[in-house]
Amino acid sequence: MHSSFSIKVTAAVLMSASTNKQSKTLSNLTRQRRPKTAYSLFLYLSLLATLPVISRADSQLLIQIEHPWLRAVPDAMDMTAAYMILKNTGSTPAELVGGSTSIADSVAPMITTKEGQGLKQMLGMKAVDSLNIPARGTLVLEPNGNHLMVMGLKEHPKEGARVDFTIKIEPGHQEIHLQIPVSKTPVK
Amino acid sequence: MNLTSRETSTSQTAAGKSSSSNWWLLTAAIPILAAIAISIPIAFKQEAQKGFFGTRMFPLKSAYDFKLNGSNSEEVRLDQLHGKVALFIFGFTHCANVCPTSLTNLAAVYQALTPKEQKQVQFIFISVDPKRDTPKMLEQYVTSFDPRFMGLTGRKPVIDEVVQAYGASYEMVRGTTDLPNDYSVNHSAYAYLVNPSGMWELLYDNEKLADVQQMVSDIRKVLRESSLH
């Protein structure tokens, strides 16, 4: 089951990514070594190409974003937060490293911290380099938890508006472009 | 001498007999006593908890009468709200996640009350960041969640006293740059409910504030009980 899926993905990517660096390198290699028959050339190429292309295919194609929303905030605030569910349907882990939007200066992944016990317990937030999206797993960004902090607001879009938002994923410097709804409460 | 020794030996035999029969009694009694010992505090706690959703203070504490500044820098005292349910949280407006979440939840709770009940309830946001949160800014911030919410702050020593009186804490955490305003604030994220008699009665962690029905039911119960007295 799994291997047939991988081969399909590989084939699809080989066909669509004929201009990428990897296939150029591969054709140079094969020219130097001069394999005897067309059949062995094909096998050799597929073998060489399979592993790196699968990981590229996973990281390029297999992150899905669900229920994104940006918190509507009063004009007095110069920051807000974006929430969403990131689903990784691939077999390699990915990292959410940040994002960008035209309505703010910067976007950064944050975690919520808890320190101390009982009444003295304090909640805080802390910037992190990235948030992990496990292979075949999900990363949930939600109120009171992990989130994308949006800093230096230049506009204050109101409830019901939509704003352009770009999510940055590694590896592969991927960018996912979204139009996310602005809301005071979670968008289901 | 003789008599004494005989008496002693008799009493020893008696003691031996009774201890062996007591042993069975004790074996039977231990689980029963243990059950009672465990259930008494539970029963007490349930009695103290009175079926509230929030954690009930037991015994109730007289709520510390804070004196902070409102939107026009006027002094606002907790005692002025005597006769109302006052519910407050600590926070700061440069808080992108936890504070707006709590205030959004509290707005839903407040808006689920009847207009008559709303007049008997005051929700308050106390900023622990007076350096950045001016009374005017605070007013604009809190009223965007609900126009009837109150934003209060004060000088640092005054705020520290309030924070301490409710067992809370906060600390400033530097950001990545050296800019003077680049800092975040870690703070207690509980909500404190003071009943109409001025007693601090209930405590909620921030996750509980999302349960609108339970919160409304607690507030109604506090209002009902105060009207009986």
Say whether B169 and A116 touch across the interface (CB within 8 A): yes
List the single residue in A with minimal CA-CA distance to B188.
A122
Residue A87's contacts (CB-CB under 8 Å, 6 or more residues apart) are A63, A64, A65, A66, A133, A138
Query: What ipTM is given for this predicted complex?
Result: 0.73
- Residue B37: its pLDDT value, please? 82
Preferred mutation among B97, B170, B182 to probe A, highest tally of A CBs within 10 A: B97
Report chain A residues whose CB lies below 8 A from the CB of B207: 144
Say whether B190 and A119 touch across the interface (CB within 8 A): yes
DSSP string, A45-56: HHHHHHHHHHHH
A80: alpha, beta or left, given left = phi > 0 and alpha = psi -120 to 50? beta
Q: Does B57 touch chain A (CB under 8 A)?
A: no
B73: alpha, beta or left, given left = phi > 0 and alpha = psi -120 to 50? left
| Rounded Cα distance, A36 and A41, in Å | 8
Residue A167's contacts (CB-CB under 8 Å, 6 or more residues apart) are A65, A84, A86, A96, A99, A148, A175, A176, A178
- Residue B59: its pLDDT value, please? 87
HSE, CB side, 13 Å, CA atoms: give it for residue B196. 17
Two structure tokens written together for B82: 């005597």
Min distance B190 CA to chain A CA atoms (Å): 8
Please state which of the ranges A57-71, A147-161, B211-225 shows the lowest mean pLDDT. A57-71
Residue A18's contacts (CB-CB under 8 Å, 6 or more residues apart) are none
List the single residue in A with minimal CA-CA distance to B139.
A76
List the single residue in B with minimal CA-CA distance to A149.
B96
Two structure tokens written together for B58: 């037991």
The answer, yes or no, to whether residue A175 has pLDDT greater than 50, is: yes
**Distance, first Cα to last Cα, chain B:** 73
| Rounded Cα distance, B209 and B223, in Å | 18
Tens-digit pLDDT profile for residues B2-14? 444 444 444 444 4
The pLDDT confidence band at residue A110, using thresholds 50, 70 and 90, is: very high
Tens-digit pLDDT profile for residues B41-56? 777 666 788 899 999 9
Tens-digit pLDDT profile for residues A27-39? 444 444 455 566 6
The answer, yes or no, to whether residue A41 has pLDDT greater than 70, is: no
Tens-digit pLDDT profile for residues B115-164? 999 999 999 999 999 999 998 889 999 999 999 999 999 999 999 999 99
Tens-digit pLDDT profile for residues A85-98? 999 999 999 999 99
For chain B, how many residues are written?
Answer: 229
Q: Are B49 and B35 within 8 A, CB to CB?
A: no
- Residue A8: its pLDDT value, please? 35
Say whether B97 and A147 touch across the interface (CB within 8 A): yes
For chain A, how many residues are written?
Answer: 188
Q: Are B170 and B164 within 8 A, CB to CB?
A: no
- Residue B224: its pLDDT value, please? 94
The pLDDT confidence band at residue B18, using thresholds 50, 70 and 90, is: low
Preferred mutation among A69, A77, A114, A141 to probe B, highest tally of B CBs within 10 A: A77
Please state the pTM of the whole predicted model. Answer: 0.74
Mean residue pLDDT of chain A comes to: 77
